[in-house]
Structure 1
Amino acid sequence: MDNSNKSLGQKIILGIQHVLAMFGATVLVPALTGLNTSITLFCAGCGTLIFHLITKKKVPVFLGSSFAFMGGIIAVIGNSRIGDPDFLEKLAAVKGALIVSGMIYALFAGLIKLIGYEKVNKLLPPIVTGPIIIVIGLRLSSTAINSAFYYNNEFSLRAVLVTIIVLTTVICISVFAKGIYNLMPILFAIIVGYIVCYPLGFVNLDPVRSAHFISFMDENVRTQLFLMPVFRLDAILAIAPIALVTLIEHVGDITTNSAVVGKNFMVDPGIHRTILGDGLATAFAGLLGGPANTTYGENTGVLAVTKNYDPSIIRIAAGFAILLGILGKVGGFITSIPTPVSGGISIVLYGMISSVGVRILINARLNFGNSRNLMIAALIFVLGIGCDSIPVAGTVTISGLALAAIAGMLLAAILPEGNDNVLE
């Protein structure tokens, strides 16, 4: 879609839509690990701008908090929280480990630049990338359903009602609205959902009341922000090896983004640049005390729904994320968006990601009467969806998605292609 005719005001509104899509998942990681939410949002925005700088401003990707690193971070921090005597010591070790993780990304980016994209591409043919992208969306689906249909861990008919209204709004705006309104189904759905939630008792404004106007006025935030990293071996071994797994997930996400936009970002600006951008963003987040960054499926889902692929809109969203990290009251308001609303939005976004994977298989005209194609896809689906994670060494785990990707790549490389691999 040509986005050159969008006014600045329209781009700002579209950027806000991307911020709202990523917000819930991004702030969940610090909530579960003990890291600071304001610093996390600030790092997500800055990390996204770093990524765009490295990728020549060509790739419409937003970077948010990585869930893959949560296990390693929790293994180091444990149950310590700000105010505990050992929290800052553990946070310093996490900072150092995340910086090392970012450098691992940079190392692999250099290796890919040396060996060439073609060899990476051979490892990830459509029979591997299509099912992996389907798995990426479906793995997230249970999270969407739990948010949409449950409230305070209990099934709620009121939450179901809100979800139905949110989904109806998204569908109607996407299908029937014209012009600029057609590009903002997520934003309209959140507004409608929030209004409906208020009389139902789902809206909690405590995060707004308790937030500082300027987040960095909080002494605890400043202490964490300027804490010097410590490169402790046990923390590095618990966290840094996870980068080897998320590198595979990164390739899958960029493949998804390329499929949605209709451009091969693996070639231009190059997968080595996207990996380097992701790595430098993670190292930056580690330096300041935020969680590792990663490409965000929620924002890829927004691209798929709106068909608006202008990278400058993502950079506007990054600016808003930085602003939210600084302005505590605004961040508090977005935190108050009820889970049935975000869950209803997620149902659409995660489903759109899986649909992109189906489109890749259709466009490649793969023959699923061919046993080779069936075996590769079957293994990826079951390992990717059925396996959450498996322990590798100590606290280090490998996700089911990474395991599925490795298995798919190995089978695609070993099994010979028959004459009926592709439909005529």
Structure 2
Amino acid sequence: MADLLTFTTLLATAKPPQDPTEECHTRGSYSLHHVFLFSGQPSADAYVNPEGATSVVISMRSRRQHVENGTEAEFSETTGDNKKSSCGLLYTVDEVPVWYMTILFGFQQYLVMVVATVSVPFILTPLLCIDDDDPVRGRLVCTIIFVSGLITLLQTTFGVRLPIVQGGTFSFLVPTIAFINTAFPKCEDLPLANMTVTQQEEEWKVRMRAVQGAIVVTGIFQVVIGFTGLMGLLLAWITPLTIVPTIVLIGLALFEVAMRMASLHWGISSFTIVLMLLFSQFLKDVPLPCPAYTRSSGFHIVWVHVFKLFSLLLAILVSWCLCWLLTVTDSLPRDNRARTDSSNDLITLSPWISVPYPGQWGLPTVSLAAVLGMLAGMTASMVESIGDYYACARISGAPSPPTHAMNRGIGVEGLGGVLAGLWGTGNGTTSISINIGAIGITKVGSRRVMQAAAVFMMLFGTLGKFGAVFACIPSPVIGGMFCILFGMIVAVGFSPLQFIDLNSSRNLFILGFSIFIGLALPKWMEKHPGVVDTGVILLDQLLTVLLQTSMLIGGFLGCFLDNLVPGTLDERGLIKWRAQYSSTEKSDEGKADCYDLPFGMHAIRRATWLRYVPFSPTFRGFTKK
């Protein structure tokens, strides 16, 4: 994923800013060297002074007016003390574009979110024993989009209040796969062909309800951790050598899924990979001319960086068109999964309107083994989200998120997990990093834009035909996309290694051992089912699920050994690791009004006891200051 900005990517690309003007300049590759989406070709005058003192930037008031009118941007000099100007932003967090620009930018963010989210149901449906032409696949896509919109609206309004999108996460897929493979027979071993439609439906609903129950309980845990401020305590034990094996093993554990789908037609999968490489790496800075109309200028041309923003979507669409062409010319065998007519019944049988609702698959059931496995996914998701909050704040020109905002953000994500479990998305919820990258490209950091995107999600999430169309993407195309996405997860998982001393034999031992055992033990458990036999069925299932969850094993070993084996703070990378968070909090103190709640702040400030409530905007810690 070209724009993946996870927790580890933030650490890899950002250094602690030395002054407010440097904050946006040091955030990865997003600086004034890059043109914003509708600005045309970059100006030679748009540069960043390497000393970080003075820069020539776009006059933001004029720039917004000209963008809305479709005319050229004006430039003016500034000393760089305005964070918004130094970031080159069109709109900061609290600013609201005119209504038609809000709709346009919101729909753009919605398209980015859909591409990042619809891949989750493609992994879940085979595990749940759902046929490729079953309309339930479309309903599942609609459900996850609808719930993502609902949670995004809650997060941007009452949670962390940054322009950040919520959606599905791969972190929950690894424990989900381990649990389903352990607690239920494999789909290929079931006589599905001899079952009635009702029996087949009940078979996959039983699995879904078990996953739902685990996600609901895990979400409750996350709500408690967020709103009580326990996340700060957990972060004291979560170190770079904990993060690396956890994130890396998410990608490595899913390689079989990518291989299985890509191998259905390696030609189509390879074509998709080549297109993603071409669009995201070679053509990302090439703008395309697009027609536009304004009352002041009439019809004219604007230059849009389509490949940078929609590289993933374009690769899928082009590969999909190739599959359609090969299908209509009958160049593919009738039973080939790359054909576009293999799922025609899915679209035909799907209703036009299908509103997701809680309990649509039945009442969730709870399994201790599934809950403990999901807790590992929850931990990885929370750590990733904290990094996303910092990344989003820097890219959108907001101050570093204060503790109370992050507590609310984690708490609302936990609430989102509860809602996702009740609605039956089959997955938890977390911050979607690719949308943060889209902010860096469009230079639109407005919270209202993300709220508009959330409305689009909820609207399109009720259109059954729409979800069915996305569920019909040929499997080899998805397999090619997975090869890129999972590879990027592994790559960004390694980025925190920059903080630790890789010349230390201590660190090399912990790193290598954690990753190797995290790969070897689950694979051995998979090859030897029933090897755990304590005489207690519940305990057997619990241990089997935990020992087959690679990210749990690797993350636990990394955390345990790094906090047990003697080593200096500098050797473990903790000095640089913690410095990036504490460096901006003092400079941003008193400037974080954008994190206040949308109403009731006068009463909140008058209630002195709320200063000790972890999610209150007046929270300053548990000690009197």
- Is TM (by shorter chain) over 0.5? yes
Residue by residue over 1:216-237, the C-alpha shift from the partner in whole angstroms, topping out at 9 and shown as x without a partner, is 878xx99995565276xxx534
Matched, 1:106 2:232: no
Map of 1:211 onto structure 2: 347
- For the 8 Å contact 1:63–1:293, the answer to whether it is kept is yes
Partner Cα separation in structure 2 for residue 122 and residue 230 of structure 1: 34
Which of the two has higher C-alpha Rg?
2
What is the correspondence of 1:286-297 to structure 2 with a 5 Å cutoff? 286-295=421-430
The answer as to whether partners of 2:272 and 2:319 remain within 8 angstroms in 1 is yes
Which position in structure 2 is the counterpart of 1:190? Answer: 316
Structure 1 gap ranges (5+): none
Match of 1:33 in 2: 128
Instruction: From 542, 545, 552, give the equivalent of 1:402.
Output: 552
Pick the aligned partner of 2:506 from 362, 372, 379. 372
Does the aligned pair in 1 maintain the 2:106–2:451 contact within 8 Å? Answer: no
Q: Which moved more, 1:410-419 or 1:87-96?
A: 87-96
Which deviates the most, 108-117 or 330-339?
108-117
Partner Cα separation in structure 2 for residue 230 and residue 128 of structure 1? 32
Residue 293 of structure 1 aligns to a residue in which SS? coil
Distance in structure 2 (CA, Å) of the matches to 1:387 and 1:322: 41
What residue is the counterpart of 1:129 in the other structure? 243
User: CA–CA distance in 2 between the matches of 1:28 and 1:317?
Assistant: 25
Residue identity opposite 2:433 in structure 1: T
Q: Does 1:411 align with 2:561?
A: yes
Q: Which residue matches 2:539?
A: 393
Cα deviation for residue 206 of structure 1 reads 4.3
Instruction: Identify which range, 313-322 or 27-36, moves more after superposition.
Output: 313-322
- For 2:426, the aligned partner's letter is P
- The TM-score normalised by the length of structure 1 is 0.77
How far residue 410 of structure 1 moved from its aligned partner, in angstroms, is: 1.0
Residues 388, 216 of structure 1: alpha-carbon distance in 2 compared, 3 angstrom cutoff: farther
Paired residue type of 1:25:
V
Q: Aligned to 1:357, which of 493, 503, 510?
A: 493
3-state SS of 2:198 partner: coil
| Maintained 8 Å contact 1:385/1:400 | yes
Residue among 148, 155, 158 paired with 1:48: 148
Question: Relative CO higher for 1 or 2, CA cutoff 8 Å, sep ≥ 6?
Answer: 1
Q: What is the deviation of 1:384?
A: 3.6
Report the residue type matching 2:137 in the other structure.
T
In 2, distance between residues paired with 1:223 and 1:367?
50
Change (3 A) 1:354 1:376: same
* 1:20 counterpart (115, 126, 136): 115
- Rounded to whole Å, the distance in 2 between the matches of 1:147 and 1:381 is 25
Residue matched to 1:336? 472
Cross-structure match for 1:250 = 381
Contact 2:129 2:204 in 1 (8 A): no
d(CA) in 1 for partners of 2:105, 2:464: 25
C-alpha RMSD of matched pairs (Å): 4.2
The number of aligned residues is: 410
Query: Is residue 348 from structure 1 mapped to residue 465 from structure 2 by the alignment?
Result: no
**What amino acid is the match of 1:172?**
F
Q: Which residue of 2 aligns with 1:173?
A: 283
Q: What do the CA deviations read for 1:175-222 (whole angstroms, capped 9, x no partner)?
A: 54475422221122222222233233434134344435763878xx99
**Structure 1 match to 2:623:** none
Q: Is the 8 A contact 2:149 2:458 kept in 1?
A: no
Deviation of residue 125 (structure 1)? 1.8
Deviations 1:66-101 (A, max 9, x none): 423355467369858883359659947964873464
Q: CA, structure 1 residues 92+190, in 2 after alignment: closer, same or farther (shift >3 Å)?
A: closer
Cα deviation, residue 405, structure 1 = 1.0
Q: Distance in 1 between matches of 2:479 and 2:204?
A: 33
Determine whether 1:140 maps to 2:261: no
Aligned pairs (5 A) from 1:293-304: 293-295=428-430, 299-300=432-433, 303=436
Q: Secondary structure at the match of 1:84?
A: helix
Number of the residue aligned with 2:516: 382
How far the C-alpha of 1:318 sits from its partner, in A, is 5.2
For the 8 Å contact 2:139–2:467, the answer to whether it is kept is no
Distance in 2 (CA, whole Å) between partners of 1:325 and 1:413 is: 45
Which of 327, 330, 335 pairs up with 2:463?
Answer: 327
Structure 2: gaps of 5 or more residues: 1-29, 31-88, 92-96, 131-135, 288-302, 328-337, 395-399, 526-531, 533-537, 577-625
Aligned position for 2:198: 84
- Residues 280-328 of structure 1 show CA distances to partners (whole Å, capped at 9, x for unaligned) of 33433443444242438xx535655885595767666655554554323
**Of Structure 1 and Structure 2, which has the larger fraction of its residues in helix?**
1
Determine if the alignment matches structure 1 residue 151 to structure 2 residue 255. no
Q: Deviations over 1:137-156 (max 9, x none)?
A: 343345334434x226xxx3
- Asked if 2 retains the 8 angstrom alpha-carbon contact of 1:45 and 1:317, the reply is no
- Relative to structure 1, is the Cα distance of residues 120 and 323 closer, same or farther in structure 2, using a 3 angstrom cutoff? same
Q: Structure 2-normalised TM-score? A: 0.55
Kindly provide the CA deviation profile for residues 340-399 of structure 1, in whole angstroms up to 9, marking residues without a partner as x. Answer: 33333333333333333343332x3x2111123222222332234445475793434121
Tell me what 1:62 maps to: 167
Q: CA deviation at 1:275?
A: 4.6
| 1:51 counterpart SS class | helix
Distance 1:295 1:126 in 2: 20
Structure 2 SS opposite 1:144: helix
Q: Residue type matched to 1:118 in 2?
A: G
CA-to-partner distance for each residue in 1:118-144, whole Å, 9 max, x for gaps? 321111122322443333334334533
Given that 2:248 and 2:494 are in contact with CA atoms closer than 8 Å, whether structure 1 keeps it comes out as yes
Once the two structures are superposed, the pairs formed by residues 203-282 of structure 1 within 5 Å of their partners are 203-212=339-348, 215=351, 226=360, 229=363, 235-237=366-368, 239-255=370-386, 257-258=388-389, 261=392, 267=403, 269-270=405-406, 272-282=407-417
Once residues 105 and 212 of structure 1 are traced to their aligned partners in structure 2, the CA distance between those partners, rounded to angstroms, is: 36
Tell me the distance in 1 between the aligned counterparts of 2:198 and 2:484.
41
Partner AA of 1:69 in structure 2: T
